[in-house]
A and B are shown apart, each in its own frame.
Chain A
């Protein structure tokens, strides 16, 4: 039969027309580095654990979190959360309350008794950790999880370091600390208390490697002539004595000298011990104080007073001589020659701490600079097999940094014990704000954590800042924009005019069908979280 023209061809589907050949650019999926993760000194996968918290799977969220950091409940209280400072959501309304969700997860884990998964078979290697502060405990945790036998030798009567003997209870209740320390001990880590290491070269003889994290405990002094009758103490000893049976006697008028977080903690402690006046004397101005703004604010709320631009020159019986200062153009305080007196029952010096390096005597090839031990990028000192971290090495001094050092050192110690070297995988490119399409996120302001009433803040050591409950924590987790990491919102799958995105099912994300993708770039433009990139097609 002769068919008329135009029906001689069999009908078919347009699938035979591979429009992928039109493409000059192709979309590719990628993971970009969320700014929160990038800012975390402990290397937490913040976006990663928030993702699970968002769906209400708190245990999984906690498990992802503790891959990097065994102290979520402590972190959720004392970490200065640089993550929130970098959080992209801050450019939209206010940063995600990462720290409060972390605390919620930490508390939830304690409440429900979640345990770490057990370590693999023993590697047969033994590692000594000196000091049970955050850095030592973090190293011990990671080393144990890698299968090494770990012994911690700690000089003090209890574990925790400055988390116990520095940070006051009203910021970190001890049952929380105890629970998170115990979980690490439960991994099989041997914790020897009251075991000061006096000579590390000898101490590490029976071990394959050692990690030193003795912190910085020697109070810095300022030369202040003081009469015998004046009660002068240093901040570290004072805070340490708070852990003992007998509470220190400071009197009604307490002056604290210094401008850091420690000075603030001492003044707030003095208020709680019954001081009617707790006055911080600082040589410079508020802007120059190294204490964090929120801590200064909380101290002021509790009635702590601060005297700026003043240097203490002399401590006499019941009174101090103070000289007025001015700032020069470099911001340094210079004396004015103007003096005044202040009444004081006691003076607490909070001028910073030095590292006690005596246990290092006789160790060859160590480099000590500015009072701290120099370490390589792998946290190893000049002496092979001897690693160090935390407050005793050059860096910022806080719990999170110390925990990060412990983890990093553990990875390098593990490689050292295996005779290899640890290569951290290269960082993904940053998911900065410009990579996001924020249209797709609804407006939602940050949830504020409850604060203890002011009377109890001035009279008791009860915890000042409360936690979030389940609903508010969930809300807060869901404010996360999931920067740089696909959260399976289906936008790419939806907006492709060519059906060229294949959905792989829950948790499996998507893939492109390059047979049909024309490379229009709509998926990349409309991806809320910047997890798609257009790359030139090789022609």
Chain B
């Protein structure tokens, strides 16, 4: 697919920067002039994937829109840790909606800009998985259906983190949360369909849908920039590990995101008008255990009261993703 092809530089082909690349081939994050949309001093936990993902995404959107950007933020960790009264970490025009209506507020701002003739001002809306897949779902679907000129970014940390790790419809099977305790014959979150929001977004036929993780910065920047070049409703679903809620080491945030992708549990792809146009292939395939084991929210699957049958079911999910999205190159298999 059309991911930025990088000239073959052995040292650091996958790194954030690369001194051997021409300046215009370098990532936004490598530049000293990146906008640092969300600045130091925010109160996110150590190693927060959401804080990192938000800076990656909004900086790229800023770069693509010549810094003419307004960001709308649903209630959730990102909003709370960045703006404790009277401080703000945001270095972009930023507005807090409420928990469930960020897409609608963004729609309104986009409409206002249109009325005022400010064609160059672009709008992004952002929220957590709870705000997106649950309470904001209706507003979001409306925004899609009207094809409003908004890029919506969902930071998926797979639960309601801000209020103390309650289950959302994006919480994966078997995960322990405050509301899905590891008790009973099938501990943790029940196996079920959940809500696959990227696919639901695709079903709306909107111009652009993509998934990404904080482990593949160049892929993420490519997708945000591509989305910003387009108009109409666009949706990016960004996988952001949460050290506190998942029970992982703060230094493991990126590694965990990488394992989610490499195991096939989190497929990374992009789609235009409802059709998949590209997938990011698995580079070094791993079994799901490698992803699950470092996370305390899955601890009950292993150890003395282990549940190998549940691990097998999770592996089946990964295998299905690999088949369905074609995540493996023949050679890598």
Chain A neighbourhood of B284, CB < 8 A: 439
**A493→B10 contact, CB < 8 A:** no
Q: Which of B44-52, B107-115, B122-130, B151-159 contacts A (4 or more CB under 8 A)?
A: B44-52
CA distance A437 to B284 in the complex (A): 13
- Shortest Cβ distance from A445 into chain B, in angstroms? 11
Chain A neighbourhood of B14, CB < 8 A: 439-442
Chain A neighbourhood of B10, CB < 8 A: 441-442, 444, 475, 478-480
CA distance A6 to B86 in the complex (A): 8
**A490→B13 contact, CB < 8 A:** no
**A481→B11 contact, CB < 8 A:** yes
**A14→B40 contact, CB < 8 A:** yes
CA distance A11 to B89 in the complex (A): 11
CA distance A10 to B11 in the complex (A): 48
**A13→B87 contact, CB < 8 A:** yes
Q: Which of B12, B46, B48, B251 contacts A489 (CB 8 A)?
A: B12
CA distance A522 to B253 in the complex (A): 7
> B184 in the interface, Cβ–Cβ < 8 Å?
no
B: number of interface residues (CB 8 Å): 48
Q: Which of B12, B29, B86, B250 contacts A487 (CB 8 A)?
A: B12
**B43→A19 contact, CB < 8 A:** yes
Q: Closest chain A residue to B46 by CB distance?
A: A520
Q: Closest chain A residue to B262 by CB distance?
A: A439
**A522→B41 contact, CB < 8 A:** no
> A500 in the interface, Cβ–Cβ < 8 Å?
yes
**B40→A491 contact, CB < 8 A:** no
**A478→B9 contact, CB < 8 A:** yes
Q: Closest chain A residue to B83 by CB distance?
A: A14
- Shortest Cβ distance from B29 into chain A, in angstroms? 4
Identify which of residues 467-506 in chain A touch chain B, using a CB-to-CB cut-off of 8 Å: 475, 478-482, 487-491, 493-500, 503, 505-506
- Shortest Cβ distance from B176 into chain A, in angstroms? 23
**A14→B13 contact, CB < 8 A:** no
Chain B neighbourhood of A442, CB < 8 A: 8-10, 13-14
From known contacts A439-B14, A444-B10, A487-B11, infer whether A54 and B20 are also in contact, taking CB-CB under 8 Å: yes
- Shortest Cβ distance from A422 into chain B, in angstroms? 34
CA distance A260 to B15 in the complex (A): 46
Chain B neighbourhood of A182, CB < 8 A: none
> A389 in the interface, Cβ–Cβ < 8 Å?
no
Identify which of residues 3-27 in chain A touch chain B, using a CB-to-CB cut-off of 8 Å: 6, 9-19, 22
- Shortest Cβ distance from B247 into chain A, in angstroms? 15
> In terms of DSSP, what is the predominant structure of the interface of chain A?
loop
Identify which of residues 59-87 in chain A touch chain B, using a CB-to-CB cut-off of 8 Å: none
From known contacts A439-B258, A480-B11, A522-B254, infer whether A490 and B249 are also in contact, taking CB-CB under 8 Å: no
> A524 in the interface, Cβ–Cβ < 8 Å?
yes
Q: Which of A37-45, A117-125, A511-519 contacts B (4 or more CB under 8 A)?
A: A511-519
> A526 in the interface, Cβ–Cβ < 8 Å?
yes
Q: Which of B36, B86, B250 contacts A520 (CB 8 A)?
A: B250
**A497→B15 contact, CB < 8 A:** no
Chain A neighbourhood of B313, CB < 8 A: none
Q: Closest chain A residue to B29 by CB distance?
A: A494
Chain A neighbourhood of B168, CB < 8 A: none
Beyond A475-B8, A489-B12, 19 additional pairs, beta carbon < 8 A: A14-B43, A14-B89, A19-B42, A54-B20, A441-B10, A442-B13, A475-B10, A479-B10, A481-B11, A487-B19, A490-B17, A490-B29, A490-B30, A493-B29, A495-B52, A495-B254, A499-B39, A519-B46, A520-B48
List chain B positions with a Cβ less than 8 A from chain A.
8-20, 27, 29-30, 32, 36, 39-44, 46-49, 51-52, 55, 82, 85-89, 217, 243, 249-255, 258, 284
Of all A-B residue pairs in the complex, the 10 with the closest CB atoms, nearest first, are: A490-B17, A494-B16, A521-B251, A14-B41, A520-B47, A489-B15, A520-B46, A516-B40, A442-B13, A520-B250
